[in-house]
Structure 1
Amino acid sequence: MTKKKVNEMSFLDHLEELRWHLIKSVSAIMIAATGAFLAKGFIFDVLIFGPAKANFVTYQFLCRISKYIGMEESFCFTELPFEIQSRTMSGQFSAHIWTAITAGFIIAFPYVLYQLWKFISPGLHENERKHSRGFIIVSSLLFFTGVLFGYYIVSPLSINFLGTYQVSSLVHNDFDLDSYISLIRASTLASGLVFELPIIIYFLTKIGLVTPQFLKKYRKYALILVLIVSAVITPPDIASQVIVAIPILILYEASIFISRIVIRNQKRNEKKQV
């Protein structure tokens, strides 16, 4: 569909176009969710409850690191002192459904992006479409990297801290299934979306809302915001917040570099037109 044809479309035509893209996206998510629903054993026993086991790869790695640098071996343990339980009749079935849908969204994310791109790309100029061809690949890689970071770093740190925290030895931790899964879901999805920062900055720069100078000027405020975000998605200990904050700060610096390239290309195109 050319830009001319897009301009000739009415508002209702755009809504109809958007509706079909949404239907295709939802259909892809539901198909992937069905597969995740059927793979219950792998999804729950391996993925969901993996960070609740002492032999989880992150704990083993952090245990070796803590031993190597001579720190307290807080990640060296044989079991986590809590139990997970379901206290409602439909608790396990509801958890199964919503976990499958979440997994379906993560699996179908590249296709959802593809449908989003098909909807917005006809409104772009040819040179804009040319410079944005890698949008789906880069966005998907960033999202999946963020999801892995959330699963292997944020989730274990949160579970280890909250699962071992006690106000008194008289209180035993028995976590509700929904509460536990919500923590895993929030950690992975939030990290996946946060890792999309360079893509967001790219488009904000393209439409003129952000410049490299703006990002540099407010870098110190961004640092505070990053620390706040880290505090929200991690347990309230300094080590965990620093571990999460570092990649976000790297992404922010990468966003400045991307914004500079976008501005440079825009100026180059303007000179060619003159």
Structure 2
Amino acid sequence: MNKKAPVLVLGGTGKTGRRVARQLTESGWTARVATRHSPQRFDWRDESTWAAAVDGVEAVYVVDEQSGDAAGLLSSFTKVAVHRGVRRLVLLSARLLEQWAHDPSMFGAENAVRDSGAAWTILRPTWFAQNFSEDRFLREDVAEGVVVLPDWQGVEPFVDAEDIAAVAVAALTEDGHDGQVYALSGPRLMTFGDCVALIEASSGRRFRRVAATREEYAAHLLGRGYSQGYADFANEMFDEIRGGRTAYLSDGVQRVLGRAPRDFSEYVAKTTWLFE
């Protein structure tokens, strides 16, 4: 790729996007951060913002709109992007799709990238370690010292968002990743209780653990201001963990970076924990 050309980072202020932008800059690339509220404005619902965002760009980090029509919007965007010279797309997807391989409708965003005519790489990470400190549905519980979950026994190989970003930067700027699907996980399987215990040890704060039924957890999220649709989706994700369908490691970090993924304990040690 042409190092003089900026790399477009959609969702560039989000959990992975801002890390992708920072790591690109640290590596000597120019990151063009684009969101609805950034100087380089980009809005999935406003096609008039697309052309300016991709002008002069050869590679794009894609975080889709994550709505019911996200795949259609992404397909339309890729046509604009490729027409204006974009040669490479790196899409943030999810490893959870591996559990839903029987349902082709779940792969709309991935297919939009595959069919774009550009070189593509797809990233499928597990649950982010940073969900405990940066995602509202867990961060608020941690901040209050009472963690409510519908499952405390199932295991998940939480991945550090820094590793996701490092893999994305490699795929955006290096050769050898075109046409690859990288499933990304952390180095070990952990329960949510294991994660909370490490946060306790690092922060010196004790947490009350509350085991909720699916209905109680949905009510908990509704009380936080989430929609019923989000509550249902969250319960479905926990069902996958409870059923053991996510209880395996993936080697995408090792394949791309040539090292083991960061452990959850490394994330905890580097995080400033805020409590009410």
When normalised by structure 1's length, the TM-score is 0.25
Structure having the larger proportion of residues in strand: 2
TM-score (norm. length: structure 2):
0.25
Higher helix share: 1
